[in-house]
Amino acid sequence: MSEEQSASAASAASPVYDTAKILAALPHRYPMLLVDRVVSLDLGETIHAVKAVSFNEQFFQGHFPGAPIMPGVLQIEALAQAAGILAVESLELAGTGKLVFFMAIENAKFRTPVYPGVLLDLEASFVQKRSRVCKFAGKASVEGKVTCEVNFTAMIADS
């Protein structure tokens, strides 16, 4: 492998955002922080983030004992957090005291259960951008198999 190919492979594997950058972009903290890394970010367009779904997640204690699956609403929340990073970075909101709040969730579809021990890919893209309201399309998947699809609207507001 040439040096150029090696460098390209290394940059493809390293996250665009690690935990420290995610914590700087989002107000969420454990146990509600559901984005572990950002793989790619195309400002004003799309984001690809990842949630490492661990058996140690609090929700697995009760959802469901003996047959743990990640709740669909938390998949949507993870997608919304990824979209929040996209909005904060694209609209240059970091440090402004502005937050991104859910306004609406539409056309949510759950396709496949998410089990502990997987990497949940989170893809969100802008559908519409305005100064205070943004619409997004989101899709979560595990190894290329879609687990959840949703459209949602968020409002930019003071914290």
Catalytic residues: 63
Q: Identify whether the C-beta of residue 76 lies closer than 8 Å to the C-beta of residue 152.
A: yes
The answer to whether 84 and 100 have CB atoms below 8 angstroms apart is yes
Would you list the DSSP string of 7-25? HHHHHHHS-SB-HHHHHHH
With vertex at residue 28, the alpha carbon angle to CA 26 and CA 68, rounded to the nearest 5 degrees, is 125
> How many residues are recorded in the chain?
159
Tally of CB atoms within 10 A around 78: 26
Chain centroid to CA 149: 12
Give whole-number Cα distances, 152 to 22, 83, 140, in Å.
Answer: 21, 10, 14
